[in-house]
Amino acid sequence: MTSPAKPSEPVCGFDLEHSWTEAWDFSRPLNFNHGSMGFTPRVVLARQEEISRRINAGREEFVREGGFSQLDDARKALAAFVGADENNLVLTANVTESINSVLKSLTFAPGDEVLVTNHIYVNYPALIDECARRQGFQVVKAEIPYRLKAEDDVIAPIMAGVTAATRLAIVDHISSPTAMIFPVARLVKALGEKGVDCFIDGAHAPGQVDIDLEILGAAYYGGNNHKWLCAPLSSGFLYVRPDRQAEIMPAVGSGYATAAHDFITRFSWQGVIDFVPRLMIPDTLRAMHDMHPAGWDGIYRRNHALAAAARRLLCERLGLAAPVPENMIGSMFTLPLGPIQFPPEEMEKSPLHRGYDALVKSHGFGAIFSQFGDDYIVRVTAHLYNKLSDYEALADALAAFIKDHQS
């Protein structure tokens, strides 16, 4: 390993060598993959255990004596955090539940189109194609380049995909394979002017960037709490604008999932589930806020500064060019690794696992990889437990990986 990166200018009072690593427990020495499932800090896990134990001591009592109002308080706390009116946001297990609820509730006329992009999360094309087959809509894909200079390069292909038949556009807030911040405010406005509703996939946005859902004004927004907010697993939400709420039912509904009930009530009882991840939302928001003296705003600014510095470091060390401008990344970024070739036996694995396993084998830590068009790309994340010199170790690991897999 080479010498650690030089301490940089302070961001919100800390240089980028300061980290909060001791607040988390990890099985690997370094982590650059916050994006897959997030990581919950120790203090929140301890509280989760305590609440779990309390509920288990009397499950019926919990539900009958205040459990509902605690769940509703958690929902309202999250709504306030993401700038949503409390009547417009419900809790779900994850974005997958949120997008299923929306897509499977909507009715389509023959010939209706749903617009998606090539930066969509890997599991959703199959889901959307299956909905299209059952519900009778056509899927249209906008091709957004991987290397681009400005937000307009995202907006133009999406708007070019709109036709008179476009009913809905499914657009990322921060894309999964390419880690790009999409200009969602501009997109919601431009698409709205063409009469097209948006489902914004915000799996990666809460906790990475400040969000105000009422100002954004999208018809539908699905978010995850278990990624960048660091909440326990199985915690997400769905925002639906008031003029679209009548149509939307939970993907998994129970006795309240009827047209006779309002949007919030429909999602209030989806059968017996583990209530604890939802109850943990206020504790998580507070615990994370309290870690940084400047609260969540300090976390956004510090993690973005670290991601930007790490990207510069990796580009310099590996001789790579960043694919998007710095204002289009939050706390994660991707880099194209050039022509990469794997031995035939590795080709049976998914593109993600090929690179991940190679890094773990050679250096004891992983990062997420994907094949995007002709590019084999690595996705790298920065959270409070990372510091700038961590990325020196990643640069060493990626340099060795590129050398070993050059075609």
Ligand X SMILES: Cc1ncc(COP(=O)(O)O)c(C=O)c1O
| Residue 70 CA: distances (Å) to CA of 51, 62, 275, 285 | 12, 10, 10, 15
Asked if 389 interacts with ligand X (CB under 6 A), we say no
The least CB distance from residue 202 to ligand X, in Å, is: 8
Asked if 100 interacts with ligand X (CB under 6 A), we say no
Instruction: Name which of residues 186 to 215 contact ligand X (CB under 6 A).
Output: 201, 203-204
Asked if 372 interacts with ligand X (CB under 6 A), we say no
Q: Please report, as a single letter, which amino acid is at residue 28.
A: R
158 vs 187: CA distance, rounded Å: 8
Element (H, E) at 171: strand 166-172
**Torsions phi, psi of 235, nearest 5?**
-140, 110
Residue nearer to ligand X on the CB measure, 166 or 178: 178
Q: In the block, which residue shows the tokens 């004891």?
A: 364
Q: In the block, which residue shows the tokens 């090539």?
A: 118
Residue nearer to ligand X on the CB measure, 224 or 284: 224
Contact (Cβ atoms closer than 8 angstroms) between residue 32 and residue 365: yes
| Closest to 223 measured CA to CA, from 81, 103, 86, 104 | 81
Contact (Cβ atoms closer than 8 angstroms) between residue 401 and residue 359: yes
The least CB distance from residue 94 to ligand X, in Å, is: 3
Asked if 96 interacts with ligand X (CB under 6 A), we say yes
The percent helix, strand, coil of the chain (3-state, each to 5) is 45, 15, 40
Asked if 224 interacts with ligand X (CB under 6 A), we say yes
Instruction: Name which of residues 41 to 70 contact ligand X (CB under 6 A).
Output: none
Instruction: Name which of residues 3 to 42 contact ligand X (CB under 6 A).
Output: 36
Residue nearer to ligand X on the CB measure, 238 or 306: 238
Residue nearer to ligand X on the CB measure, 47 or 204: 204
State CA 19 to chain mean position distance.
22
Instruction: Lay out the site mask for ligand X across 110-139 (x = CB under 6 A, - = otherwise).
Output: -----------x------------------
Residue nearer to ligand X on the CB measure, 113 or 201: 201
The least CB distance from residue 148 to ligand X, in Å, is: 18
The least CB distance from residue 229 to ligand X, in Å, is: 12
Residue nearer to ligand X on the CB measure, 19 or 208: 208
Applying CB under 6 A, among 19, 33, 88, 176 the residue interacting with ligand X is: 176
By rule CB under 6 A, what count of residues binds ligand X? 11
133 vs 156: CA distance, rounded Å: 28
- Burial (CB count within 10 angstroms: exposed 0-12, middle 13-18, buried 19+), residue 2: exposed
Q: Which residues are CB-contacts of 311 (< 8 A; sequence separation ≥ 6)?
A: 322, 326, 329, 333, 335, 380
Instruction: Lay out the site mask for ligand X across 312-341 (x = CB under 6 A, - = otherwise).
Output: ------------------------------
Asked if 95 interacts with ligand X (CB under 6 A), we say yes
Residue nearer to ligand X on the CB measure, 81 or 221: 221
The least CB distance from residue 381 to ligand X, in Å, is: 12
**Token pair for 28:** 């690997």
The least CB distance from residue 140 to ligand X, in Å, is: 19
47 vs 372: CA distance, rounded Å: 40
Contact (Cβ atoms closer than 8 angstroms) between residue 324 and residue 183: no
Asked if 94 interacts with ligand X (CB under 6 A), we say yes
Residue nearer to ligand X on the CB measure, 172 or 197: 172
| Binding-site ranges for ligand X (CB under 6 A) | 36, 94-96, 121, 172, 176, 201, 203-204, 224
